[in-house]
Structure 1
């Protein structure tokens, strides 16, 4: 049944237009001229048009069996050609769709892996920058610790020097006391006179001893503070070492992740190369199908040429039959004339 939009009138009009260009109206030419309609719809309408215009008049004088055989051969060749062309088109379209799908999937996979690699590169840059900053902080802490240790050593040396000074002062005080007692025993007469002087000197020495003791206490307090600061710096250094170890461990983990991702990328690239290889094989298959289609077109052209040759031979046969018919008519006329003369001759005898 004809599809809506393609009627017998449309097919007949298209066939007449094609025939006016001195071309044989075929299903493909009618479909191309109309720009729509299926072959299964156009074929019976075109056959009806040929029946209506009475193409049998062009083959007058030929045996009807020969005309039917030629028509059947032509229609069979046309159907085979149309079927093979349609089949080749379907195979080509299916192969092309599958190839496009695989190519799209490969492109999407490559885009995802590229984005993931970019993200990991950014994470590695941030981790590297953070580690560099922490290394700088650790180096600063180490420098501060070295300075604190140097200050502690200086304080210890100074405390030792102060202790030695106090010991020397104590020894000097002891020597003075011994000398004073010896001098007191020896010069008992001058004791009263020198007592005030001794008290004054002794008071000065006591003041000096108290000052030195006060300085010693301050030095010991300063040394204790330096020891506490050193312990704090050592604790901070240990914490920084632990943090550095943790960061190094995290960095090693990130590097392992990056190695895994590189392996994934290499696998993806291998798959991409495999897809490209499949693409090349599909391209070769498409080229083969195209070549087969070209062979079919050539075969169809040969069959069309054979059909044209058959038509030409048919036309030549028709001309010969027309010539023989005319010659037969002339012979019949001559025969009639001879028979008339013969009858006249018999009458005269």
Structure 2
């Protein structure tokens, strides 16, 4: 709905003013003439004005005029309608562009407002963070002040200790000077003593050098004798080496002969072992056969014992039967004789 501040008549008068200036009406131009009003309200009134104008363009020219005038009027009316339609299309395009631009400006304003809100939120968060950092800085500053005070106290103690050390250093420097003087005196005495000892050492060195030269001559003579003895021993060793080489060759020949004999012995031993293993295998087979025959004989003996036992039982049974038959026959004979006597 349009606002009550700007009416359709106000927009109509502004449009008429623009048409008199031969300017296409638009939302921005109407607002510039009125000096107030929202773009939405002006756009709605401008749309209504265009709708009414389109409705008026459909009205036909008046009737009852002469034919030539009627034709001319219709032609003029058609041209006017075409021009009005073209102007109206132009106005519509211009209005649509202005509405689009206004909508873009509104969207841009909304985006800016959102950006401003986001910046405000970010600034608020940054402010909170800054306040926290400020509080931490204040706490750190307090700790630093206490640390500085402690360090100042420690520094004062160090200064006092430094003064004590300086006094002690002065005393030590005096003592050092005294010791340096004593050291110089002792050094002179030591140097004199060292000079005397050096002279004595030179004398001993000369004596030792003479003794060493004598020992060196003795060593040279001993070396010559040792070299001569070594040459003789070397010659003897070479002769002995040749003898040992000859003995080694003979030993190698004997060793080859012994190896040959050993190989023959091993071959014969291997053959004998093969024969022994074959005989042992045959003996094992014979033993197995003997054991099998023993088992068979034992089985047959058991069977024979069983048969003999059965035979004895049958013999005893037959003997008992015979005795029983004889007794029965005897009893029959006795009975028969008794009957005949009667």
Choose 1 or 2 for highest CA Rg.
Answer: 2
Q: If the length of structure 1 is used for normalisation, what is the TM-score? A: 0.29
Q: Which has the higher contact order (CA 8 A, sep 6+)?
A: 1
